[in-house]
Structure 1
Amino acid sequence: MTDRISFGTILIILIAAFVMFYNLGGIPLLDPDEPVYAETAKEMLSHNDFVSPRIYGEYWYDKPPMYYWLVAASFKLFGVSEFAARLPSAVLAILCALYVYSASSRMFGNRAGLAGALILVTSIEYFYLGKAAVTDITLNLFLTVALLAFLEKRYYLFYICAGLATVTKGPVGFLFPGAIIFIYMLLTRSFHLLREMKIPAGIVLFALAGLPWYIAMYAIHGNAFVDTFLGFHNITRFTSPEHPEGVLWYYFIPVFIIGFMPWTAIVIQSVWAALTDSQPQHGRPLLFLIIWAAFIFLFFTASRTKLVSYILPMYPPLAMVAGWYIDRLAARRRNARPFAWPLLFTVLGGLFAAGAVYGARQAMPALLPGAYLTAAVFVVMIIGTWFFVARRETERAFWLQIAGMAVFVVILMSLLFPPAAPAFHTRDLAKAFTAHYDGKSPVYVVKFLRPGFSFYAGVYGTELTPDHWKTPGKAYFVVRPADWEWLPEADKRKLKVLATADEKLLIVKQ
């Protein structure tokens, strides 16, 4: 590693850009989440309305508009495409890594900052979401900058980014920073910081950044906006499971183990060292980072609705702690043989490699070439980590894993995602529909497939209910096998399958 910040910045940009942009637009938007954001941004442009989000031509109160605005701007500049829909996430993922590098370098030194930024960029969940057209990376950036700005006493930046986070995902934009800072002040008995935080000016800055859209939406839509956005999409989702299969209390433990891979193997000893053996000037910043990560994990563990992406905001602080630990090992090279790292990585990396091969064999044999290569990369990383740690060359072990994850990105985007993606997108069926559609008959689409179908076919359709099968006259149906197999045989004889694409059907009723 180098002590020249300018070189570190260039290195992070090059590695992060490769990871985020490699084959970014080569895979269709995956149902159901990516097409929702892309379709809403497309309708913003078609209706020339950038205040009230719409989907299927109807007002849509699910999320604030920040990511829709970014995608709409990307569509305007580059045209409507998968690449343009994902571009904002990829760019903001790189910017977040650069800010982590900058802030961590000021706190812990350049080598620690560089390590932390690269750990973040090469963790599986971070680069997966950085290559996806969803809001999570945008929220993650604003929360990260806000909390690090507080830690560095850059309070005006803190308030502005908390406001922008609120326009990205709602109340969590200010509730999360507020709760994390309160817990930190409580544990460190540092409530005197409140006198330094320029709170009156901060309230003004937060309001200017975060509230105009909410005021405009209430003025236009009234209580319908408040009840749906705040009532259902925030309070109800926390207290009631939207996805009952994810209610298990330990849901986020395997999510984190896989999502922070390969750095899961070093994070436990990193946190332990930060809590028990840090230098005095590093103790409080490290404690703040650990409180930040723990709060995110525990909050969403308590939430009744659980999604894989929810814990993304805990990755930047943990990457910074792990970067600090890597720097600490490098500085103590003569005495540093952290065998817990290769030992844990042997277990976790070995299970990940074996799981990739087993999963491909069971679910989709077409993925086996990519799965075998993934296993080979992780085996090389395991052997190399043991070799370098035994020789007290922890920096080389670190760079080996960075290189291994860059190779894994190529395998993932070239050999694993392309054969698997057709099962998760509606582009091919939408093309078949366009070729067969008469331009006037009603179209009924199962809910899960509707966002992707609308984006690719340019036809909204109507969400399918059982009664729609009884529609008189000609009608088109976009479904999966289970959505129509229950029909009586007499009714099925009136239907004709026009096209199939990976367990998705285009059916016409004459």
Structure 2
Amino acid sequence: MVRRLDSNLWVVAVIALIIMFFNLGSIPLLDPDEPVYAETPKEMIQFNEFLSPRIYGEYWYDKPPLYYWLVTGAFKVFGMSEFSARFPSAFLGVAGVLALYWFGRELFNKRAALAGALVLATSIEYFYLGKAAVTDITLNFCLTLALLGFITKRYYVMYIFTGLATVAKGPVGFLFPGAVIFLYLAATSRFRLLKEMKLLTGIGLFAVTALPWYLFMYSVHGSTFIDTFLGFHNVTRFTSPEHPELVVWYYFIPVLLLGFFPWTSILFQSVWVSLTQSSQESNRTLLFLNIWAVFIFIFFSISQTKLVSYILPMYPPLALIAGWYIDRVWGLRARRTAWPVILSVLSALLIAGMFASLELFPALTNGVGITAVLFSVMALCSIFFIWKRQIGKAFWVQVIGMTLFSMVLVGMLFSGVAPYFTSKYIAHEFTGKYDGKSPVYVMKFLRPGFAYYTDIYGIEVKAMELPAAVNNAQGKAYFVTQQADYKELTEPERMKVRIVAEAADRMILIKE
């Protein structure tokens, strides 16, 4: 049913747009992930081939193409830039917040939907990834629409967005909705719902949406595509750690505590109350949202490869639960003691961590100082309003505080550390010094950004391979590396090269 737009929707839209699009293109692409998702669309345009992704001129099968297609479209419309590479994430970040409000007011009410949507928009991890040229927000948007489509009985929406999620990220696109829905049906003994889910036409709709690209890739690339995409990038990454040092069972606990800030201060209360004190009318919806969030958390805690962004799909259900809780306590006269206490502790820890980082990045001094004041004022005002039993004002203080922080994050913090996390500046140095013909050896971590900003692919050098590359290079050769890699060279190896340019911790070496 089509709904008339209301004032709350406009408030949510304006806040989400400010958070996601403020200074979106002001920061260079950050190594190594963002340049990958810009270089591949650039090569799609260069080779005029949009179905088989390439990088460095070679086919590769790391991710399905949905985000590449979106960036390609942005490149066509806005030109090739950092803004264009990030535009799909920012756009879908805003769309995801609006969708949460749209569905939330049907599942609960307008105030709960408003609170839930703004909780999502102002959570650190959500708006951080919404401003990044990576695939996570695209997957998150599709999964959110698929699962909210199920719980509101919009089954065709569910099937279409499950298919799009599969084109965005692979098998998790249909495994996650399938598992969450199955667990919900089992927990509520409602398998009879399968009869009304239009399974035959729905599966057909999913197949039409998801399968054509996979069938094309198999027909063109055969078992190489299956072995690499499904075998390595999905099964192997789940069963074998890509970063062994991160394989600890509690990895995602601090990620969630920080990533859901400042709403971590009500996270545990929200979940507990939603499971123990909800009304019969909202009980099943809240149970579904809890199953959704918990499944994502457990799945990736079991996975051997762990990255901060993996648990993003649990943020929409947690935001709706938090929104429902805020609406529930909005008019109650009882004080919420845990809320301001947890917020104050987390704010203090974040401020302390930022000040500790100044030893490595002194350029962040002004940004860290402003953030410290911002978080302190936010915590103190929240304490005051919660003590006065004015929950609504405490909520808006945190929304406004985090909206301002999102601007400080991009305008001052990211800009201060960007030179240490991008190859853009060393690439510009290189273009003025390269002779146009000698071989170029590039460290693997820097290669995507170097290729994007120079149009030179270079020869990839993996960790610990730089000494061999320096010793074995014949004739004149260039090396693009980091200071840490250069320091690993022995004195005789350093004598074979000279430093011709530096930008932050990136270096250009030349062997003549």
TM-score when scaled to structure 1?
Answer: 0.97
Alignment partners' CA distance in 2, 1:485 and 1:145: 49
- Equivalences for 1:488-507 in 2 at 5 Å? 488-507=490-509
Alignment partners' CA distance in 1, 2:381 and 2:492: 64
AA in 1 matched with 2:67: Y
Identity rate of aligned residues, in percent? 57
For structure 1, the residue ranges without an aligned partner over 5 or more in a row are none
Correspondence 1:483 to 2:485? yes
Q: Tell me what 1:468 maps to.
A: 469
AA in 2 matched with 1:193: L
- Equivalences for 1:76-95 in 2 at 5 Å? 76-95=76-95
Mean CA deviation greater in 351-360 or 249-258: 351-360
For the 8 Å contact 1:495–1:509, the answer to whether it is kept is yes
Residue deviations 1:360-393 (CA, integer Å, cap 9, x gap): 2x32222122112111111111111111111111
For structure 2, the residue ranges without an aligned partner over 5 or more in a row are none
Alignment partners' CA distance in 1, 2:265 and 2:345: 9
For the 8 Å contact 1:5–1:110, the answer to whether it is kept is no
Q: Tell me what 1:198 maps to.
A: 198
Q: CA deviation at 1:339?
A: 1.5
For the 8 Å contact 1:262–1:401, the answer to whether it is kept is yes
Correspondence 1:306 to 2:303? no
Q: Tell me what 2:418 maps to.
A: 421
Q: Residue 484 of structure 2 aligns to a residue in which SS?
A: helix
Alignment partners' CA distance in 2, 1:462 and 1:220: 27
Q: CA deviation at 1:491?
A: 3.8
Alignment partners' CA distance in 2, 1:90 and 1:123: 14
Q: Tell me what 1:384 maps to.
A: 381
Q: Tell me what 1:316 maps to.
A: 316
Deviation beyond 3 Å, 4+ runs, structure 1? 484-491
Residue deviations 1:258-287 (CA, integer Å, cap 9, x gap): 000000001111111111111111100011
Alignment partners' CA distance in 2, 1:488 and 1:296: 46
Q: CA deviation at 1:493?
A: 2.5
Residue deviations 1:402-457 (CA, integer Å, cap 9, x gap): 01011111211122111111000000100011001111111110000000000001
AA in 2 matched with 1:282: S
Q: Residue 211 of structure 1 aligns to a residue in which SS?
A: helix
Q: Residue 242 of structure 1 aligns to a residue in which SS?
A: coil
- Equivalences for 1:94-243 in 2 at 5 Å? 94-243=94-243
Q: Residue 445 of structure 2 aligns to a residue in which SS?
A: helix
AA in 1 matched with 2:384: F
Q: CA deviation at 1:65?
A: 0.3
Q: Residue 64 of structure 1 aligns to a residue in which SS?
A: coil
- Equivalences for 1:54-93 in 2 at 5 Å? 54-93=54-93
Distance 1:476 1:224, change over 3 A: same
Alignment partners' CA distance in 2, 1:278 and 1:71: 42
Distance 1:486 1:14, change over 3 A: closer
Q: Tell me what 1:336 maps to.
A: 334
Q: Tell me what 1:284 maps to.
A: 284
Mean CA deviation greater in 344-353 or 156-165: 344-353
Q: CA deviation at 1:346?
A: 1.4
Alignment partners' CA distance in 2, 1:494 and 1:239: 42
Q: Residue 338 of structure 1 aligns to a residue in which SS?
A: coil
Alignment partners' CA distance in 2, 1:265 and 1:5: 31
Q: Residue 27 of structure 2 aligns to a residue in which SS?
A: coil
AA in 2 matched with 1:493: M
Alignment partners' CA distance in 2, 1:386 and 1:5: 34
Residue deviations 1:456-498 (CA, integer Å, cap 9, x gap): 0110001024443222111111011333444443443231211
Q: Residue 71 of structure 2 aligns to a residue in which SS?
A: helix
AA in 2 matched with 1:39: E
Residue deviations 1:193-219 (CA, integer Å, cap 9, x gap): 111111000110000000100000000
Q: CA deviation at 1:4?
A: 8.7
Mean CA deviation greater in 350-359 or 21-30: 350-359
Q: CA deviation at 1:321?
A: 0.4
Alignment partners' CA distance in 2, 1:474 and 1:194: 67
Q: CA deviation at 1:336?
A: 3.3
Alignment partners' CA distance in 2, 1:61 and 1:154: 33
AA in 2 matched with 1:300: F
